[in-house]
Amino acid sequence: MLPAITVSTLDFKRIELVLDALPASRDDLKDKLFMELDRADLVEPVDVPPTLVTMNSRVRFTVLATGVTMVKTLVYPKDQAADTQNISILTPLGSALLGLSIGQEIEWKIDAHKTMRVRIDAIEYQPERAGDFHL
């Protein structure tokens, strides 16, 4: 069963714009991310809890199978570039992280034979908490 997720109305609208701009060849990706958005509880940006993974949040999480801890910033595709500290919302990991809260875990398929499970450990930076609503 998938964990409950919460998404800000601003992130929701911006992600919809990104998905609408994708070519038809990416319809499978669009469908998966739209399914994630459809199951989300929506809140206004000023009401986002400080424990929530939102767009442009810097998130510390642990890959449970290995115990490896990582810190990544969840970004829109235009901001991913070559920065390995950023992860696009259009990646499986990026879409899995969106809307989770500290302490929550999620498992998803990384290919036909393997899954990955991660736990959210901390939100090191969140635009809403910092008042950076323009990001």
Q: Which amino acid is at 62?
A: T
Whole-number pLDDT of residue 81: 75
State the Rg of the chain over Cα: 14
Whole-number pLDDT of residue 14: 94
Q: What sign for the dihedral angle of Cα 97, 88, 12, 53?
A: positive
Whole-number pLDDT of residue 86: 93
The pTM (predicted TM-score) of the whole model is: 0.89
Token digits for 59?
């998130």
Strand-strand pairing, 41-43 and 6-8: parallel
Q: Which amino acid is at 3?
A: P
Q: What is the CATH topology of the domain spanning 6-130?
A: Chitinase A; domain 3 (3.10.50)
Domain ranges of the chain: 6-130
Strand partners, 73: 58, 86
Distance CA 5, CA 21 (A): 24
Which positions of the chain have pLDDT values less than 50?
Answer: none
Whole-number pLDDT of residue 135: 62
Whole-number pLDDT of residue 72: 95
Q: What sign for the dihedral angle of Cα 16, 6, 128, 126?
A: negative
- Helix segments in the chain, DSSP class H: 9-20, 27-38, 92-97, 127-130
Please give the backbone phi and psi of residue 93, each rounded to the nearest 5 degrees, phi first: -65, -45
